[in-house]
Structure 1
């Protein structure tokens, strides 16, 4: 099974950025833990702060991978382009958010991506990624 985690803007700052919301662990450290725990899964990772690069990656893997775990971060609430990319591919996508977006600012309560995904996991911290991964298994 081939799964990719795609992270959007500012998630490269995990471990430094707002630890009271996002925790103190870097995503790279967490990703290595996931790889160790799920050795039978071919697990890839991509992060970009640039919307077009995220769209390009979704299109690149969207017909050949078994699953995409997508945390589009702030683009979740603004990007019709990413939503359209998710809608256009055949690979199933799980939308993930580390924080409970409904407990935050009102603009974070809407996702352009959600109508086009297999499921949504919100608010379980970094564990959200593992829950998404388990849903593909």
Structure 2
């Protein structure tokens, strides 16, 4: 498994959140999640300007195996989506923690970040799933 970046927070459902300047939170799925899904063939992005709620489905990824909901780790307004994924959904497979981000949210409640797992707690969750 690839190294889990220490600056990320995680949902138990394998989405990551990276807090950026100005209250933006960039969201994607973990390297573990993309490897479980297999080759991604389609990503349904949320609409810019739409509201998302922490723990609710905000996007969908489809692989050759299955379609999976992507749950937003935080609540807020979608202010950016990764248009690259429309033509190259495999970007998530290639760089899940970087270029494979899915959407960015202007967070409405920073306290929600405290409910997420840090990198070491997430790593433990993944290890326990694999056994």
TM-score, normalised by the number of residues in structure 2? 0.29
Higher helix share: 1
Q: Which has the higher contact order (CA 8 A, sep 6+)?
A: 2
Higher strand share: 2
